[in-house]
A and B are shown apart, each in its own frame.
Chain A
């Protein structure tokens, strides 16, 4: 019973969120793009109370981030989030807009990013007043879309492209929260990514050290490898990001190779496959390729792929030259 109502509520919220997003895009597109007022980053030294709160929390497993660099949700927020959820399920009327029951400081979303092995970061969002909402998560141009849970929280592990572009979560109304990336193993990993919009399906295929399709060393979303192996990494891994169930989906696939760990010169051959489906056939998929050159600068190229005509539905457009092969120099 509760479940059913919950589904209805979620569905309605999504529609409202989508409509709001649509309005924002068309009505306040300019304002949305330049909006910085709602950033909730604690830049510079945090005030005393915040440090106290942060140090009261369990220490993150990898001690690479100092608490000053992050915004940590105060412990009391969590209890109230539960209240917010129950409000949505039990008390919310399906026709009424949610009443702003909480003060703005309670609604203020927070983002926590924690460094992980594999030059990854765990990103945890707490946005009690933004449940079941479409969000765009990313770092600089490398973005994907997903949705917050019924309690306004969201969690994802993302590969970091560099340590200077903030990791951000953007909400339907154009406001966003940011967290600073801080990954110490960044220079050990070579990275390449594709991002795209709409209903298409694309895959990066990486052939490591002369591997052939289907053999070990062939890394793709069907055989993604692992980012945190026990011991020294010997191969790369693939991260697929984005949620096909949200409106106007944006996807990202990131391939990471531990070049700094692999003490052998060589090349990783990279290709991209785009599925010819009855949704995408004959159409254009718009996206970007992202490749890190030395010094951590991400080279982003705007791309538009023309998918073959609908008589080849079920097939794949295979592009061997869209991404440059990774060249691994001997350390």
Chain B
């Protein structure tokens, strides 16, 4: 018998720490017979064997070995099976469109098998031979359960409406599943947003995030205080497990030092929330852009003249403060080939069409000409004063003149210089667009802005620094971009063009940003 060192040299592998599954005896022998690994088979993905051997868990390239023993998979009949578990909004609304579009693009014939509302699967057959190539099993659960299934090895992909929690990252590392927070293990596949809704019969059309926090903490309890009629406000929200509710608490309620009122009526799904709100003219509820139902979305106002509707461009640029991306999370272990193809597909233009059909906002890069930025310019003028003088305003206007704003915008987590999840995804999007030359511009300027706290001079320096660091991050990612064709500049205007009031944390977060202007 040869030593473990020879084994390492002879076969492609990496060691994975995982609990052994049910015992199946296999012996993998290299084609020249010189290497032999015996153990229990943990899995086979069509390309690689995972074997719990005397040397630990080994992943062995199937092309280099022959399998013997009762535990060997039937290589002819092998069907790659990918289990996807998580949030109902993604599982029910988006995944059918994505998988069918993927099957169509790859030339597979897809059939959807249904047993109940809690689970369905897609069988992908090769159109010419009829051979089953892959099976996707979709479990309709919640973001929390999706992560739990991923961590307990019961799912290959988790669907989530929120980012992974620090605790889940730790448990993933302990389980040998890699770092779930690393860019290689998650993808933003579409955008959605939290939207406050009221009955179409209610006369109140707008609400500020501050008022929203007061309403849902019980401080404002009558529509009269919001400019409506004298009637008590009835609160509706999705139940505790809802990621959308958590986004609301984290971005709006908790930063204001408040807590959710005990009088909130809870519902199992967002559609239940909007249906209940639509029936009651005195109700207010929390739902999403993808699920307006029969209720009417309320426009968010900034309290000092700013307003933001949940429209696609505002979600793409995160100018709408309650944007909520849809994520897929992966284990740090290779998926079967068809699974890897699917993950690549989710970032393609064809997938964006499926995203739009499903009622979500896609990640395609949009451009807004300067003439549609009148409101932003008005904000800049309104904000001008001793600190932002006429010279700086003129510089801003001439920089804007003739340029278009790309929808990719970069925003930062609570005051720090770390990019938020959607912005990290935007780094990759912009890098790919630079590599493929699809931007269609000669010049891109990374333009930094800050909130209005502190001295204007310091803010201007800080905003320029942030713009430079975003440019660096994009360049690191865009390894194959031809930079002879496009110049990438940096500028900073500090607090000159605010998009929201600076008196709340969410407002400051909207203002701290790096925009991309193209010419």
| A interface residues, Cβ below 8 angstroms from B | 209-210, 264-267, 269, 293, 299, 301-306, 317-322, 324-325, 327
Contacts and interface: CB of A to CB of B under 8 A. Distances in A.
A303 B275 contact: no
A271 B114 CA distance: 13
B87 to A, nearest CB: 13
A15 B110 CA distance: 35
B357 A293 contact: yes
22 contacts: A209-B294, A210-B278, A210-B279, A264-B200, A265-B296, A267-B271, A267-B293, A267-B294, A299-B100, A302-B110, A302-B111, A303-B114, A305-B115, A306-B114, A306-B115, A317-B116, A319-B117, A320-B117, A321-B88, A322-B114, A325-B271, A327-B359
Contacts of A301: 96, 100, 110, 112
Contacts of B358: 324
B165 interface: no
A8 B123 CA distance: 45
Nearest to B110: A302
Given A320-B117, A321-B117, A325-B271, A304 B296 contact: no
B465 interface: no
Given A320-B117, A321-B140, A324-B93, A303 B292 contact: no
A304 B113 CA distance: 5
A264 B296 CA distance: 10
B208 interface: no
A292 to B, nearest CB: 11
Chain A: interface secondary structure? Answer: strand
Interface string B235-264: 000000000000000000000000000000
B152 to A, nearest CB: 25
Given A267-B293, A327-B292, A304 B96 contact: no
Chain B: interface secondary structure? Answer: mixed
B221 interface: no
Contact of A303 (B88, B109, B111, B296): B111
B92 interface: yes
Nearest to B96: A301
A321 B113 contact: no
Given A302-B109, A321-B92, A322-B114, 4 more contacts: A302-B112, A305-B115, A306-B115, A324-B96
Nearest to A318: B117
A317 B274 CA distance: 25
A289 to B, nearest CB: 8
Contacts of B110: 301-302
Contacts of A324: 93, 96, 358-359
Nearest to A274: B114
A225 B358 CA distance: 28
Contacts of B96: 301, 324
A266 B112 contact: no
A319 B117 CA distance: 6
Given A306-B115, A321-B140, A327-B359, A269 B92 contact: no
A265 B113 contact: no
A293 B100 CA distance: 14
A318 to B, nearest CB: 8
A322 B278 CA distance: 23
B33 to A, nearest CB: 45
Contacts of A264: 200
Nearest to A322: B114
A265 B195 CA distance: 16
A293 B278 CA distance: 26
A325 B271 CA distance: 10
Contact of A319 (B114, B275, B294, B296): B114
Contact of A210 (B111, B112, B293, B359): B293
A302 B432 CA distance: 35
Contacts of B93: 324
Contacts of A303: 111-114
A240 to B, nearest CB: 21
A142 to B, nearest CB: 17
Nearest to A328: B294
Closest 5 CB pairs of A and B: A266-B294, A302-B111, A321-B92, A210-B294, A210-B278
A327 B360 CA distance: 12
A310 B92 CA distance: 27
Contacts of B92: 321
Given A210-B279, A264-B200, A327-B359, A304 B112 contact: yes
Given A210-B275, A210-B279, A327-B359, A304 B294 contact: no
Nearest to B269: A320
A170 B260 CA distance: 62
Residue of B109, B110, B115, B274 with highest tally of chain A CB at under 10 A: B115
A75 B200 CA distance: 56
A213 B409 CA distance: 45
A319 B92 CA distance: 11
A321 B274 CA distance: 17
B292 A267 contact: yes
B357 to A, nearest CB: 6
A266 B293 contact: yes
Contacts of B109: 302
Contacts of B292: 265, 267, 327
B248 to A, nearest CB: 21
A328 B88 CA distance: 21
Nearest to A285: B114
